Amino acid sequence: MFELLHKDNNSSARLGRISTAHGLIETPCFMPVGTQGTVKTLSPAELKDTGADIILSNAYHLFLRPGMEVIRKAGGLHKFMSWDLPILTDSGGYQIFSLALLRKINDEGVEFQSHIDGLRHFLRPEDVVEIENELGSDIVMPLDECVHYPASKDHAQVAMKRTVYWAKRSKKIWNKERGRLLFGIVQGSTYEDLRKECAGELVELDFDGYAIGGVSVGEPSNLVYNTIAQVAAILPADKPRYVMGVGLPEDILEAVERGADMFDCVVPTRYGRNGTAFTSEGKIVIRNAPYTEDFSPLDKECSCYTCNNFSKAYLRHLFNTDEILGLRLLCLHNVHFYLDLMKKTRAAIKNNRFVEFKKEFLGNYNVERN
């Protein structure tokens, strides 16, 4: 469960701890994304070395491949992927709505055609909870309906009410004795009254934590920040608050300041695989010509394996010769950068200086640098 350890004196930033069957999670935290049971290019040992104490996987993708029978025979997802720390699984609702073919949605559930082999499937919210239980997830996200931005209010309202209905059905079959946590997901697009209604109904159901969904689907930053602030303010203080799919370092700090505790995004590894590194001075594209004879590390402030051993010139060489090591080293650095940022964020909150820390970080971090 969640323990609120401290609140920053000058903002809504919070320091907390989540207890799970596979260990403790210090918050605010960033969860590296291992959609298909792997954080791309990185081994579990490397993830632990970067400081990861939880990762995220996706029930939709794992349900399709390798399939539940394989994972069941392996003894669950933790054993299958050799990861003995906490795992949060996303229900795959967003993927069903964005990837699946010929989907049909009604109050009973979702019928969809797999984007992999074209086979048709039908999943009820109860089915999704059972799938995540079979995976052995420590934190389970129920099936929800996420709408893209912009969405009409009528469309957003239908999706929000369906999300609440599915949440009630998911909670009804939930077995707390399994020692796992079930979160509710607040939807409602950018409409404050819909968000408030959704949050209120979910809080009455007393979930173990609450996620703010649908805030990384194309909205401008100011709307994302406003939505996070509005929803966080009405969620219970004694439960963790998870902002789904956010994101960039500057967005994470803005969300922390507004009271959010948990984050995930594919950005660190996706950017790394495409040759972009996050540094204390901003993003750099390692393929670029200025780094041809630059023998300094990616980030002089970083203590990761990549920065301790390799230069920008060498990393540029790896990318320009299509060597796989380049992808791995940049992904390793980026994940370390994100997790180190969260570690420093927690220290700043503990010392009641989060606002100063954020100002210092963003003052050095050039968002536009490339």
How many angstroms separate the CA atoms of 264 and 248, rounded?
Answer: 10
Confidence of residue 102 (pLDDT cuts 50, 70, 90): confident
Answer yes or no: is pLDDT of 302 > 50: yes
Residue pLDDT, tens place only, 350-361: 999 999 999 999
pLDDT of residue 118: 87
Q: 173 in the Ramachandran plot: left (φ > 0), alpha (ψ -120 to 50) or beta?
A: alpha
How many angstroms separate the CA atoms of 202 and 142, rounded?
Answer: 12
| Alpha-helical runs (H) found in 136-266 | 153-172, 192-204, 221-234, 249-257
More confident residue, 148 or 200: 200
Residue pLDDT, tens place only, 176-205: 767 799 999 999 999 999 999 999 999 999
Confidence of residue 101 (pLDDT cuts 50, 70, 90): low
Q: Out of 251, 264, 299, 340, which one is annotated catalytic?
A: 264
- Average of per-residue pLDDT across 56-83: 97
In the chain, the N- to C-terminal Cα span, in Å, equals 41
Tell me the fold of 2-265. Answer: TIM Barrel (3.20.20)
Q: What sign has the CA pseudo-torsion 268, 271, 274, 278?
A: negative
pLDDT of residue 368: 59
Domain boundaries, the chain: 2-265, 267-370
Judge whether 264 counts as a catalytic residue. yes
The conformation of residue 191, written as its DSSP 8-state character, comes to -
Whether the full predicted model's pTM is greater than 0.85, yes or no, is yes
DSSP assignment string, 78-115: HHHHT--S-EEEE-SHHHHHHT-EEEEEETTEEEEE-T
- Average of per-residue pLDDT across 246-260: 97
Phi, psi of 81 (to 5 degrees): -105, 5
- Average of per-residue pLDDT across 20-35: 97
Residue pLDDT, tens place only, 313-370: 999 999 999 999 999 999 999 999 999 999 999 999 999 999 999 999 999 998 655 4
- Average of per-residue pLDDT across 40-51: 98
- Average of per-residue pLDDT across 40-65: 97
Q: Out of 8, 90, 251, 261, which one is annotated catalytic?
A: 90
Of 261, 329, 263, 285, nearest in space to 50 by CA: 329
pLDDT of residue 370: 44
